[in-house]
Structure 1
Amino acid sequence: MDSQGIGLIDASKHIQQEDAREYPPRDQNLNSSGTAVDGSSADVYELHSMGVSDNQTHSKNSNEREGWMYLEKSNIFTRLLKRLWNGPRIAEDTRPTFPDRWEITRRIDSFPETVFRKRFPRLSVRLCILVVYCCLWSAIIFAFMHYYFGSPPTYYGNNGEKVPIKTLSCSSTLFWKGKNNKCGLGAAACKPFDKEEVYVRCPALCDRGGWTYSAINVGDRRVKHTGFDIGGGELYEGELLSYPYRADSFACGAAVHAGVVSPFVGGCARISMEGAQTSFESRKGRYGTDPSVKFDSFFPSSFSFRRLVEGYSSRCYDPRIPALIINILLSLPMFYLYEGIYGYWIITVVGYWTLVLFLDPPIIVDPYSPESAFELLSVGFQRLLPLGFVLYVLWKCSVKRTLTDGSPLAKVLCWFPTFWLGVMNVITFDRLPVDRLTISDLKEQAGAMTAVGSIITLIFVCAVIQAYSLWKSGRFRKYLVIYCLFISALAILGTLPGLSLRIHHYILGILLVPGCATRGTSAYLFQGILIGLVLSGVSRWDFASIVETKVALLRGEAGGSWKPPIMHYNEEHPTQLSWRVENSTRQSFNVLDAYSLLINDVEQYVGKNTTIDLEKIIQNDDFLSEYVNSAVSTEGFVKLYLRVARASLDAPEKSHGDYTNAAVLEWPQGVYHEPLPGVS
């Protein structure tokens, strides 16, 4: 045979070997994702199953080889772009594997298949074991629910007297009804101011749960993104455990600030109403909480914490951390031993109810009102049904590919811990100095820009890693088109008039999970945390809209109501204060026909006058006259913080506009400081 014939035979053998490397034989074992067990492409197998002939397959292979030959002859930039667009020559998407020399990891990874399923080969037997396990698990959780929700907390004094305990949320106040004029004229609706004791039960995590995320004015200071504790501080003096807090402080947040209640397990506290105080100093808090807010003038009501008298209390401690730990521990063996579909659905449902009932409940259950427990369950089921559909879609489009016939050890080491990390968002990511991804909020919170920059960098790095995994699997083009459509849709939503784009963390999870539809280690890491974030967002806030009105974004802050009048102080008449309204319509005057004046954050005047005599207002109110005169006699002057708004004469607490920022008047000298621009 001549050399030319030998060369043709060698070329033919080379082509056959190349085809054998590219495509597995028809009888090769394939996993559920359509990929060969060894990670090679299963395209030929799929073509045979569809009735495609060998000649058509050979023609396809020849065209691909011609394309690759053309690509190799093109310039480097073109080769790079086309290789990026077309993907690798041999697609690869394999589950995580461990080196053979790591015998212990290999055994752990193969244990569910080689031991558990061989020991219980029948699926019905394994399902019976799972059902019994879940029933015992549910009984343990029900015991926690019954302990905390079923019977009210009670304190028994040293004489056996039974004292009821009031259940509060982290941001609840005792008798104070709200900011501005919610307590009515002279704060009459928020009494008693003193001579009253209350026993309260506080939940866990009030070191951060006692923050205010909408601005509240305290004097001339705007308080936001910090604990709403005014004055107070730790004190050990006889029965007293704290200095007085201003009465509108968040009681449970103040209890953590004073060190009376633990942020980890909550607890019960004894609160004594202390009446009026001439000032409230800022003091450092316990458990790493921020210093309290300073207020350097008088206020009609305050409270302090006192020691619990000798006796014992029941059902005071919050079970959320123990319940969380138990659910994590009990979900681990089930998720490890059983197939991906069982583990996925059980762990997501358990994670959801852990959030709703314990970790971050949307409603605080009052055991004295059994209806509140049923309401919490009702809200939980209301959100679970649409969430189930979302979880099903995420399973079909992404999670199924990763967990089906995946690596049990990778599930335990990667998917499982990151899932619970996302579920525990209230403990983990909510602690970052980022409230919402809006420019105004980021500017207001110290360290927010740095945190957001770090988050964006981390997301970008993870996206690059996952994009490479998609490229290796030969599906980069498809997902690039999908995410271009996602980005285009978000851009269109962001341009809608009157609405603002709001990417909640549950929406972020839903958008990013489809891009994690691979079988490598990165998919295990990213899917877990994203599914956990979806559960965290929906369980607490429901399916909040992706576009919100500007009023909704204010969260009760000033800025969405009628503009306030413009205050004016005449130094020639140092006891008089006046105001005027600009650019107002007749319709607004029909709705808001009067004015509301706050002195030291308490409403002291409601009427139609645009000029008032402060001296007469002080003299006509026994409380005002007592504390103004007392402060003047000791300090020589007293600061009066003045804010005014338009209001309805018939119902000023319900119908009023925004207040001005506080003007400061040093009484009786008449030194006046104009309010800063803006509303409160």
Structure 2
Amino acid sequence: MNAESRATVPGGSDDDFSDYSSSPPHSPTYLTAPLIPPNGNANPQTFLAKAAIWIRGPRPRLSLTPPSPLLNITLPSRRETTIDLHLESHLNSILQPLQTPIPYVLVILAYTILFSLLAHVQNYNVPPRVHKKCHSTLWGPNSLCGLNGQLCMPMNTSAVWDFKCPSGCADAELVGTRLVGNEEVEYKPLVIGGGDEEGTYRADSFVCSAALHAGIISNNGGCGRIRLLSSFTNFVPSTSHGVSSIGFPSSFPLAYTFSKDSSINPCSELSTTALFFSVSASFLLFLLHPSSKRESSPSSTTSSRSPRSWSSPLTLYYPLCILGFFHVGLFSDTYGAPPSLERLFSLFLPSLFVLAAFYSISIRHTLPALLTTSPISTAILYLPAFWVGALSNLTLEKLPISRLLPSDIVKRPGGIPTFLAILGIVLACIYHQVHIIRKTGWLPFYLRGYGLGVLALLVTGVIGGFGGYTLRVHHYVLPMLYMPLTTFPTRMGAVYQGLGLGMYLNGVAAWGFDSVLQTSLSLRQDDPMNTALPTFLTTSSTYDPSIPLSQQVIKWGPVPVHSEWIGYSLLVDDVQRYVGMEREVAVGGLGTFLNKSVPHFFRLAFKSERAVGDYTKAAVLWPNGTWVDPPPGPSY
């Protein structure tokens, strides 16, 4: 293969790759055979021939060189001359005495010690039951608390205990639609009540959002004290401290109030402090890394190739990834309250294998090349995108399309414009990378590789569909899909790599390696499953208000023939009050909880041996004896 027919690999010439401690990601030998036969059998005027020539790329192929430092600025001046401001070069010369292993190791040790102390104070200096997440509740939805709420009802219904909330709970919201009585609540914090003089909340309210509504904590987090109430009637809605609660005019078996008399000390929320130290440490890693001191010259080839050398980019790459992983797992997006170190370390080792693959496939062709020009520019390119991805629960997931479901995009305010804007940005980024790939002669290889990848995903989705599974591309999978596209030493390639690394670390540390095939039940969150719905035979035309409430009988239709359903689950005022196979229930047999002076809400679902289906929407029995039939459709 002569020099002219060889494809220029990312980073420029072969000598360039030696300098950047990297090598061609794939063998380009397949390009030795021209895509258009030289004997002219293929008609160059045909569409396929033109497409093949376009895919092959231009001749000669583009040779990429590392971009110049961002802060080296050239300004125009008079008389057609320019002024070169080598700001970054001067800063690099100032930093060179510090770009040795000793300052670099000291920064890592100091950060590790400080981070460990912050994590201990934040998560492990109080009993685990004190910690609450923004979506924590004392009562589960629908049938999750069992018959009459026995699985959620505490032994002491007048207990008092302290709690601690993280920051950012003003943004906690229901992912789908939840029915409270006969009112649908969606895409807002679930806070029920709090508008009465005592500030009483229903037990299935988000504890931290309710505490924010009550003024006990701020959006920066805080501590307080909960006092349980065994039962309460008429939860009053209100708007306070930026949080709106909803009302519930009936009774609920468990409620609570708040007070500020917390014994937790200290109660400060340290997530912001930890983020400051983590971002600062990551920037110092770039500035002080010893590889930034060497110049791009043939004489430095030996040290750049050695994986044990302090100047190896691996000594920057892995500390950065470890820093991001544990910051997500212990501060910014914890899985539990407090986070489980056992779970976190069980995910850490497998994640390192994926990170090693990222480096081998793409990052080793970009990060080393940029470090040789300037560590400051490299930090500016990588770190903002890295932290946007690592903090995606605070950045990307705030967008109204976090689940990428058509129902979310259509129903949520701003969903369609946001989706179109993001789609345009993504397409522009893909076009930009494809343009570079084509110019360098690698587009045929990428088309073949991604074609096989798309085929594998389609086969996986079809196979999963036969078993009732849905193909789900989680956000930790997205960087795996697009990271190979960033295998080029360009500024945008560095930005894409930083974002991908952050998204991957957030996905794994916060949620683990979720399966790409999942059932509809595991994906439902607050959404119905679209199962069969039972039918009330008690209707507005058959209900007799002259019969006393305690003697009323609620009736419903049979289960579908040849189905998995064998019985029924009845919710009364959002609490499961009946589970069985009978097709009617006497109101008097449901207990003494029914108050004649308040409305009551009835919802019905089919039940199998293992699960409960979708509930109907609420039928309402008003105090004057009026029965209102449920609207059509399921509820959750």
Which deviates the most, 658-667 or 356-365? Answer: 658-667
> Take 1:104 and 1:337, find their aligned partners in 2: how far apart are those partners?
26
Query: SS of 2:455's equivalent?
Result: helix
Q: Aligned match of 1:640 in 578, 600, 616?
A: 600
Q: Aligned match of 2:65 in 94, 99, 105?
A: 94
Is the helix fraction higher in 1 or 2?
A: 1
Q: Aligned match of 1:382 in 328, 342, 346?
A: 346
Contact 2:74 2:85 in 1 (8 A): no
> Take 1:586 and 1:543, find their aligned partners in 2: how far apart are those partners?
34
Which deviates the most, 275-284 or 448-457? Answer: 275-284
Q: Normalising by structure 2, what TM-score?
A: 0.79
User: Is 2:255 aligned against 1:295?
Assistant: no
User: Is 2:473 aligned against 1:470?
Assistant: no
Q: Which residue of 2 aligns with 1:145?
A: 119
Q: After superposition, what is the alpha-carbon deviation per residue over 1:356-376, rounded to whole angstroms, capped at 9, x for unaligned?
A: 1111111212xxxxxxx6xx2
Q: Which has the higher contact order (CA 8 A, sep 6+)?
A: 2
1:105 positional shift: 6.5
Q: Which residue of 2 aligns with 1:32?
A: 17
Query: SS of 2:16's equivalent?
Result: coil
Equivalent residue runs for 1:324-343 within 5 Å: 324-338=275-289, 339=291, 340-343=313-316
Equivalent residue runs for 1:95-494 within 5 Å: 95-98=66-69, 101=74, 106-109=86-89, 112=92, 116=95, 119=97, 126-152=100-126, 166-174=130-138, 176-180=139-143, 182=145, 184-185=147-148, 190-191=153-154, 195-208=158-171, 210-213=172-175, 215-232=177-194, 243-264=199-220, 266-274=221-229, 276-287=231-242, 289=243, 291-308=244-261, 313-338=264-289, 339=291, 340-365=313-338, 376-406=340-370, 407=373, 408-494=375-461
1:508 positional shift: 0.9
Change (3 A) 1:148 1:74: closer
Query: SS of 1:323's equivalent?
Result: helix
Contact 1:211 1:253 in 2 (8 A): no
Q: Which residue of 1 aligns with 2:309?
A: none
Contact 1:152 1:315 in 2 (8 A): no
Query: SS of 1:659's equivalent?
Result: strand
Q: Which amino acid aligns with 1:537?
A: G
Q: Which residue of 2 aligns with 1:506?
A: 476
Percent identity over the alignment is 26
Contact 1:597 1:604 in 2 (8 A): yes
Change (3 A) 1:523 1:586: closer
> Take 1:188 and 1:448, find their aligned partners in 2: how far apart are those partners?
38
1:354 positional shift: 0.5
Change (3 A) 1:104 1:382: farther
Query: SS of 2:484's equivalent?
Result: helix
Change (3 A) 1:306 1:325: same
Change (3 A) 1:665 1:130: same
Gapped runs of 5+ residues in structure 1? 1-17, 37-41, 51-59, 154-163, 366-372, 633-637
Q: After superposition, what is the alpha-carbon deviation per residue over 1:327-364, rounded to whole angstroms, capped at 9, x for unaligned?
A: 11012121233233322211111000101111111121
Change (3 A) 1:445 1:605: same
Q: After superposition, what is the alpha-carbon deviation per residue over 1:424-463, rounded to whole angstroms, capped at 9, x for unaligned?
A: 1111011111231233443443332332222211111111
Query: SS of 1:469's equivalent?
Result: helix
> Take 2:518 and 2:185, find their aligned partners in 1: how far apart are those partners?
24
Q: After superposition, what is the alpha-carbon deviation per residue over 1:240-261, rounded to whole angstroms, capped at 9, x for unaligned?
A: 6xx3221211111212233422
1:387 positional shift: 1.1
Query: SS of 1:568's equivalent?
Result: coil
> Take 1:561 and 1:187, find their aligned partners in 2: how far apart are those partners?
26
1:576 positional shift: 3.1
Query: SS of 1:676's equivalent?
Result: coil
> Take 1:262 and 1:326, find their aligned partners in 2: how far apart are those partners?
23
Change (3 A) 1:186 1:568: same
Gapped runs of 5+ residues in structure 2? 76-82, 292-312
Change (3 A) 1:127 1:441: same
1:152 positional shift: 1.7
User: Is 2:495 aligned against 1:525?
Assistant: yes
Q: After superposition, what is the alpha-carbon deviation per residue over 1:359-399, rounded to whole angstroms, capped at 9, x for unaligned?
A: 1111212xxxxxxx6xx222122111111111111111111
Query: SS of 2:226's equivalent?
Result: strand
> Take 1:544 and 1:34, find their aligned partners in 2: how far apart are those partners?
39
1:148 positional shift: 2.5
User: Is 2:495 aligned against 1:539?
Assistant: no
Aligned pair count reads: 576
Contact 2:569 2:607 in 1 (8 A): yes
Contact 2:530 2:634 in 1 (8 A): no
Contact 1:196 1:273 in 2 (8 A): yes
Q: Which amino acid aligns with 2:103?
A: I
Change (3 A) 1:227 1:105: farther
Contact 1:604 1:617 in 2 (8 A): no
Change (3 A) 1:201 1:534: same
Change (3 A) 1:223 1:334: same
Which deviates the most, 454-463 or 218-227? Answer: 218-227
Query: SS of 2:143's equivalent?
Result: coil
